[in-house]
Structure 1
Amino acid sequence: MRIKAGLERIPGGMMVVPLLLAATLNTFAPNLLRIGNFTEALFVNGAGTLIALFLLATGAQINVKSFGVSVGKGATLLGIKWIVGAAVGLIAYLFAGDNGLWLGLAPIAIIAAMTNSNGGLFVALVGQYGNKEDRASYSLLALNDGPFLTMVALSIFGAMGFVDGMFSIQSFIAVLLPILVGMVLGNLDEEMRVFLDQGSSMLIPFFAFALGMGIDFGAIVAGGLTGILLGVMTVLFTGTAGYFVFKAFKWNPIVGAAEGSTAGNAVATPAAIAAANASFSQYAELATVQVAASTVTTAILLPLFIAFLVKRLEKKGYAFKQGNVIKVDS
């Protein structure tokens, strides 16, 4: 049975198939793999550890002379994500009805969902289609974790002020450190760089499966059509913006599109904002289920959107070689 070849025929298959399989299990038989010990540690709770190891292996492939490229790409991704999310959120505020909603969506749900990206999903997609600098760009993109950037947008709109304690430099360093450790090892020893490179691709389907075990399709039902709409908007607006900005910079546009998702931790953002400013409390519950639905929707839709973009590039005569998009015909 040619499992690997079959997965590789599906765009993003090494990530998409394990993720959807795990999400299906988690929705309909959530306790099947939650039996403790090694099984649960690997297949349910292993995403964080496996992604950290993937980032370390990726960091080992980075030459210190090219690290600035990764920082530039990460800053660009971070900026695109925030600008698009804040802009759509502002439109929602300007055109909201008497009930404070726009298209049935709470503006804080829009900002929370669109400014916060799923790091695991980004790493999985870029691990398949990007190069080592693209993967390392996540070290800066991780700054959008949590409610901080959502609150920055709201403060600019005059809706609320800055709130202390919403951004942790310690959390940012904790994301960056595995990459830096890998960089040190790879730059000190070429053999260590080669050794770590051999295992990086192998990790993708395993942490994708563990990510899927955190997805419950029931969140789509709870969030309703408005939550699904928010997920679709997040993929199309932020993903498309990332695609064209990266294309303009002559970088791999698939990497730009790969940040078009909503992170699971964004679900907690509306409650955090409501706790900081009581004026948002009436929208917190609705915003929470809408963001949760967006999280699940983007986890399913973004890989399909990436597959569409890959096919589109291939039809135009481009190919992916070592994480770079190269024109193969005249």
Structure 2
Amino acid sequence: MQIKRSLERIPGGMMVVPLLLGALINTFAPDILRIGNFTQALFVDSAGALIALFLLCAGAQINLRNIGPALGKGTTLLAVKWIVGAGVGLLAYMLAGTSGLFLGMVPLAIIAAMTNSNGGLYVAIVGQYGTAEDRAAYSVLALNDGPFLTMVALSIFGAMGFVDGLFSIVSFISVLLPVVVGMILGNLDEDMRDFLGRGSAMLIPFFAFALGMGIDFGAIIEGGLAGIVIGIMTTLFTGTAGYLVFRALKWNPIVGAAEGSTAGNAVATPLAIAAANPAFHAVAQLATVQVAASTVTTAILLPLYISFLVSRGGFTETAEDPAAS
């Protein structure tokens, strides 16, 4: 059987197929791999560790002489994601009815979902289509984890004020550190850079499957049509905006589109905001299930959207990784 070759015929197949397989198993037979020991450690609980190792390997490919582009791309991704998410959320607030909803969607859920991206999906996509500097850009993009940028968006148009304690610099450092360790190793020893570079591609299907084991298709049903619409908007609006901005800047546009998702930790954002401002208590529960539905929707839709963009010629593979030179 030519499993690897078959997966590679599908755009993004080394990430998409394992992720959807994991999601199917988690939805219909969630306990089949949760039997403890090595099986559960590898197939269920490994996503965080494998992504961290992937980032370390990616960091090792970065030459310190070329670190500027990684910071530039990460900052651009962060800005585009936030501007689009905050802008759509503001429009929803302006058009919301007396119930506080816009077409059944909670504006708070829109902002939380659209300003917070799934780092695992981003890493998996750029692991196949990007360079080392594209992967390293995630260390900046990780700043949108948690409710901080949602709170900033709400404060800017007067929905609430700043509240201390909703953003932890430790969380950001914990994402950045594996990249830094890999970068140090790779710049101290060329052989170590080569050694770690050979391992990164192998990790993608394994952490993609583990990410899938955290997805339950039932969340789409619970969040209803409104949550699905938020997920679709997240992928099409933020993903397309990133694609267009990166193409305009002569960067790989697929990397720009790779941030068109909602992170799982965004599910906790509405309740965190409600804890900081009681005015949001009435909509916090509904917003939570809508963000959860958006998380699942984007986890399915974004890889398919990336495959569509690639099939339409949106990606041209470079012969050499400039960050490794």
User: TM-score range with shorter-chain normalisation?
Assistant: over 0.9
> Which residue in 2 is equivalent to 1:21?
21
Q: What SS is found at the alignment partner of 2:223? A: helix
> Which residue in 2 is equivalent to 1:108?
108
TM superposition shift of 1:103: 1.3
- 1:321 and 1:198 mapped to 2: Cα distance? 18
CA contact (8 A) 1:78 1:144 kept: yes
- 1:29 and 1:65 mapped to 2: Cα distance? 49
- 2:276 and 2:2 mapped to 1: Cα distance? 54
- 2:33 and 2:161 mapped to 1: Cα distance? 44
Give the 3 Å change call, closer, same or farther, for CA 83–323 of structure 1 in structure 2. Answer: farther
Give the 3 Å change call, closer, same or farther, for CA 115–287 of structure 1 in structure 2. Answer: same
TM superposition shift of 1:283: 0.4
Deviations 1:206-257 (A, max 9, x none): 0000000000000000011111000000000000000000001000000000
CA contact (8 A) 1:227 1:289 kept: yes
- 1:248 and 1:235 mapped to 2: Cα distance? 19
Structure 2's unaligned 5+ residue stretches are none
CA contact (8 A) 1:254 1:310 kept: yes
Counterparts of 1:1-330 in structure 2, within 5 Å, are: 1-313=1-313, 319-322=316-319
Matched letter for residue 61 of structure 2: Q
- 2:163 and 2:211 mapped to 1: Cα distance? 30
- 1:94 and 1:44 mapped to 2: Cα distance? 42
TM superposition shift of 1:323: 7.6
TM superposition shift of 1:322: 4.8
Matched letter for residue 224 of structure 1: G
Matched letter for residue 320 of structure 1: E
- 1:269 and 1:27 mapped to 2: Cα distance? 24
Matched letter for residue 316 of structure 2: A
CA contact (8 A) 1:57 1:200 kept: yes
Deviations 1:269-299 (A, max 9, x none): 0000011111000000110010000000000
Give the 3 Å change call, closer, same or farther, for CA 214–223 of structure 1 in structure 2. Answer: same
CA contact (8 A) 1:11 1:307 kept: yes
- 1:10 and 1:323 mapped to 2: Cα distance? 23
Give the 3 Å change call, closer, same or farther, for CA 322–38 of structure 1 in structure 2. Answer: farther
The alignment-based identity, stated in percent, is 75
> Which residue in 2 is equivalent to 1:328?
none
Matched letter for residue 319 of structure 1: T
- 1:274 and 1:253 mapped to 2: Cα distance? 36
- 1:273 and 1:202 mapped to 2: Cα distance? 39
Structure 1's unaligned 5+ residue stretches are 325-330
TM, length-normalised to structure 1: 0.96
Q: What SS is found at the alignment partner of 1:321? A: coil
Matched letter for residue 40 of structure 2: E
Q: What SS is found at the alignment partner of 1:320? A: coil
- 2:265 and 2:307 mapped to 1: Cα distance? 25
CA contact (8 A) 1:130 1:323 kept: no
Deviations 1:102-148 (A, max 9, x none): 11100000000000000000000000000010000000000000000
Give the 3 Å change call, closer, same or farther, for CA 223–192 of structure 1 in structure 2. Answer: same
Deviations 1:134-179 (A, max 9, x none): 0000000000000000000000011111111111111111100000
Matched letter for residue 313 of structure 2: L
TM superposition shift of 1:321: 2.9
| Count of residue pairs brought into register by the alignment | 321
- 1:288 and 1:92 mapped to 2: Cα distance? 17
TM superposition shift of 1:320: 1.5
TM superposition shift of 1:319: 3.1
Q: What SS is found at the alignment partner of 2:316? A: strand
Runs (4 or more) in structure 1 with deviation over 2 Å come to: 321-324
Deviations 1:191-213 (A, max 9, x none): 00000001000000000000000
